C-alpha cells in the first residue's frame, strides 16, 4: 500500500470526518496523477528522439564524408565519377540514418569489382593504322551476371565509364531481373566512318573484349553509337573466336537471336514511366508540348509513343543542332527522320527544307515546353538549360539517356518543384527487354511480341511503384522519385552484399 493511500485511510478512520477523499475521489486523484506522469514522460521522450535523430544524422553524415573523402584520395582525377557518387550518396541519407550498416555497403559498392582497359588497333579504308582505347567496367555481380551497354564516343574516359557502370548497376537492380551492372566502350568516333571502317573497328574491339564476356559472366548490349549493325559485327567476331553461338550479347537482330521490341523498348518505357508519374500527380499527358533531345532509337520511339498518346513532341536533335516542329512532329516527319538516321546515317540539317532547323550545336532546351525528355547524352542539361526550362514553364523532366542532368540542374529541379524521373528508372525499358532476350537465348525459345510489350509495361510500372514506395517510406517528399529510385536500387544491392558476405 502506498504512503498516500495509507495516510488517507488513517485520517478518515480516526476523525470520522469526510474530507472529500471518498473512494471515488481517490480514484479520480490517482487517475489525474497518472495522466500528469504520462505527459511528463511524453514531453521528455519527445526531446530524446529529436536529439537522437540529430546524433544519428550527424554520425551518418560524418561516416559518409569519410567514405567520399577516401574515394577522392583514391581517384582524385575522376571528376565525373566523384560527382555522380556524391549525388547518389546524398540522396541515400534517409536510409543511412535508419541503419548505419548501409554505410559499409555503400563503401563496398562504390568500388567496381573489375576494371579493364585495352588497346584496339584497326585499319581504315586508306590502310592507315589507328589505335583507340577500349574499356569494360564490371561494376557489380551481386544480383546476377554483369549486364550493360557498349558506347563509342571520342570523349569517353574511365571516369565517365565508371559513372555509367554505377548507374547501370542501380538501374538493373530496379528491374527486379537477375542482372548485375557493367558498362563498356571505346573512345572511337563512328561519325564520318564508312561501314567497312566501323566493321573493322568492331572486330578489333571484340578480339579483346571476348576474353572477359560470356552468357553467364558478362553480357554487353547496345548504347550510344552502337546499334544492331555494330552488335552484329561484334557478335560475328565473338562467334568466330569462341566457336559458340550463345547469348553473349543482347541487341541482336531478331533473325539471329534477338528479341522483338528491343529497339523500341527504351523509348516506349520512358513514356510509360512519364505517364505513371504524371498520373500520380493528376496531370494528363494528352496535349502536352514536349521537347526531346537526341534522334537515335530512344528519341525516335519516344516520339512515336508520345504521338500515339496524344502528346505534342516538338523537337529532336543531334550533335550539330535541333529541329523544331512548332505544331508538333507528325508520323510522316518521324518516318523521314528515322530513314535519315537509321539508313542514310545523315544529319538533321538535311531536313532544313521541310522543318525549322537550329544549328551551331544549339540545344532544344530553349524551346518553351511543359515536359522535357533528354534522350541524347549524360550531363546534357546544365544549369543554364534547367533555368531555360523553368522560365519557359516546364513542369516535368524524364530522362531517356543515362545521367542526363548535371548536379546543378538537379538542384534547380528540386528548388522549383519540377517532377523529375531519373534515367535509372525512366529509361530501364531497354535493359529490361535485354533481360528477357537473355532468358530467350538461355532456353532457346522465342517470346510472343505482345507478351514482351505487356512484360515491358509491367516492369516499368513495378519500377515506378518501387520508386514511389521508397520515397514515401524514407523521404520527406512523396513525389521525390529520384531519391526513391536511388534508395530502392541501393537497398536491394546492399542486402545482397550482406547475404553473400564480405567478398
Q: What is the pLDDT of residues 334-363, one digit of tens each?
A: 999 999 999 999 999 999 999 999 999 999
The answer to whether residues 174 and 425 touch, using CB atoms and an 8 Å cutoff, is yes
The answer to whether residues 185 and 156 touch, using CB atoms and an 8 Å cutoff, is yes
Q: Confidence band (pLDDT; 50, 70, 90) for 28? A: very low
pLDDT for 159: 96
**Shortest CA distance to 314 belongs to which of 304, 305, 302, 326?**
326
pTM to 2 decimals? 0.84
Average pLDDT of the chain is 88
Which cell numbers hold the place of 439?
532468358
pLDDT for 6: 44
Q: Whole-angstrom Cα distance, residue 363 to residue 375? A: 12
Q: Give the SS3 label for residue 459.
A: helix
pLDDT for 20: 36
Quick: pLDDT tens for 88-115.
998 898 888 888 889 889 999 999 999 9
Which cell numbers hold the place of 447?
517470346
The answer to whether residues 420 and 389 touch, using CB atoms and an 8 Å cutoff, is no
Quick: pLDDT tens for 170-216.
999 999 899 999 999 999 999 999 999 999 999 999 999 999 999 99
Q: Confidence band (pLDDT; 50, 70, 90) for 36? A: low
For the purposes of burial, counting CB atoms within 10 Å of the CB of 54, is it exposed (0-12), middle (13-18) or buried (19 or more)? Answer: exposed
Average pLDDT (480-496) is 94
Any idea what DSSP says for residue 320?
A: T
**Shortest CA distance to 302 belongs to which of 281, 317, 321?**
317
Least confident of 176-180, 241-245, 475-479, 482-486: 475-479
**Shortest CA distance to 78 belongs to which of 56, 110, 33, 39?**
110
Q: Confidence band (pLDDT; 50, 70, 90) for 399? A: very high
Which cell numbers hold the place of 259?
528479341
pLDDT for 21: 34
| 41, pLDDT greater than 70 | no
pLDDT for 503: 62
| 413, pLDDT greater than 60 | yes
Q: Confidence band (pLDDT; 50, 70, 90) for 9? A: very low
Residue entry with cell 505527459: 39
Any idea what DSSP says for residue 219?
A: E
For the purposes of burial, counting CB atoms within 10 Å of the CB of 338, is it exposed (0-12), middle (13-18) or buried (19 or more)? Answer: middle
Q: Confidence band (pLDDT; 50, 70, 90) for 255? A: confident
Asked whether the CA dihedral 486, 491, 493, 494 is positive or negative, the reply is: positive
pLDDT for 3: 47
Quick: pLDDT tens for 138-160.
999 999 999 999 999 999 999 99
Amino acid at each position: 500500500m502506498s504512503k498516500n493511500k495509507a495516510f488517507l485511510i488513517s485520517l478518515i478512520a480516526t476523525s470520522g470526518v469526510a474530507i472529500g477523499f471518498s473512494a471515488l475521489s481517490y480514484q479520480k486523484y490517482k487517475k489525474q496523477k497518472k495522466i500528469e506522469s504520462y505527459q511528463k514522460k511524453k514531453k521528455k521522450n519527445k526531446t530524446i528522439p529529436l536529439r537522437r535523430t540529430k546524433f544519428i544524422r550527424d554520425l551518418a553524415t560524418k561516416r559518409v564524408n569519410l567514405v567520399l573523402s577516401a574515394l577522392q584520395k583514391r581517384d582524385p582525377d575522376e571528376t565525373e565519377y566523384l560527382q555522380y557518387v556524391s549525388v547518389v550518396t546524398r540522396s541515400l541519407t534517409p536510409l543511412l540514418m535508419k541503419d548505419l550498416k548501409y554505410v559499409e555497403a555503400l563503401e563496398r559498392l562504390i568500388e567496381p569489382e573489375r576494371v579493364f582497359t585495352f588497346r584496339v588497333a584497326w585499319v581504315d579504308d586508306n590502310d592507315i593504322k589507328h589505335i583507340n582505347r577500349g574499356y569494360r567496367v564490371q561494376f557489380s555481380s551481386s544480383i546476377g551476371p554483369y549486364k550493360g551497354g557498349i558506347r563509342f564516343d571520342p570523349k569517353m574516359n574511365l571516369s565517365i565509364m565508371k559513372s555509367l557502370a554505377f548507374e547501370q548497376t542501380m538501374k538493373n537492380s530496379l528491374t527486379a531481373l537477375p542482372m548485375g551492372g557493367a558498362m563498356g566502350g571505346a573512345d572511337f568516333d563512328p561519325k564520318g566512318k564508312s561501314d567497312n571502317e566501323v566493321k573493322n573497328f568492331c572486330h578489333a574491339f571484340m578480339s579483346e573484349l571476348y576474353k572477359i564476356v560470356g552468357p553467364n559472366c558478362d553480357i554487353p548490349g547496345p548504347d550510344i553509337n552502337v546499334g544492331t549493325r555494330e552488335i552484329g559485327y561484334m557478335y560475328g567476331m565473338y562467334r568466330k573466336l569462341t566457336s559458340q553461338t550463345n547469348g553473349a550479347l543482347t541487341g541482336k537482330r531478331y533473325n539471329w537471336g534477338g528479341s522483338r521490341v528491343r529497339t523500341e523498348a527504351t523509348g516506349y518505357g520512358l513514356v510509360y514511366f512519364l505517364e505513371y508519374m504524371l498520373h500520380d500527380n493528376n496531370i494528363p499527358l494528352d496535349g502536352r508540348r514536349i521537347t526531346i533531345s537526341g534522334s537515335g532509337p530512344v528519341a525516335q520511339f519516344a516520339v512515336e509513343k508520345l504521338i500515339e498518346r496524344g502528346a505534342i513532341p516538338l523537337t529532336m536533335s543531334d550533335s550539330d543542332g535541333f529541329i523544331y516542329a512548332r505544331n508538333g512532329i507528325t508520323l510522316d516527319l518521324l518516318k523521314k527522320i528515322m530513314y535519315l538516321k537509321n539508313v542514310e546515317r545523315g544529319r538533321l540539317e538535311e531536313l532544313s527544307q521541310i522543318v525549322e532547323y537550329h544549328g551551331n550545336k544549339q540545344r532544344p532546351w530553349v524551346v518553351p515546353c511543359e515536359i522535357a525528355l533528354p534522350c541524347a547524352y549524360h550531363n546534357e542539361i546544365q544549369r543554364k538549360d534547367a533555368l531555360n526550362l523553368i522560365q519557359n514553364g516546364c513542369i516535368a523532366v524524364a530522362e531517356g539517356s543515362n545521367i542526363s542532368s548535371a548536379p546543378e540542374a538537379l538542384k534547380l529541379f528540386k528548388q522549383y518543384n519540377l517532377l523529375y524521373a531519373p534515367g535509372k528508372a525512366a529509361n530501364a525499358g531497354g535493359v529490361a527487354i535485354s533481360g528477357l532476350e537473355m532468358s530467350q537465348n538461355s532456353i532457346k525459345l522465342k517470346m510472343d511480341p505482345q507478351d514482351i510489350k505487356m512484360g515491358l509495361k509491367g516492369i516499368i510500372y513495378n519500377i515506378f511503384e518501387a520508386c514511389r514506395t521508397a520515397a514515401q517510406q524514407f523521404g520527406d517528399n512523396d513525389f521525390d522519385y529520384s531519391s526513391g529510385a536511388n534508395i530502392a536500387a541501393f537497398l536491394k544491392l546492399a542486402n545482397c552484399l550482406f547475404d553473400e558476405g564480405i567478398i
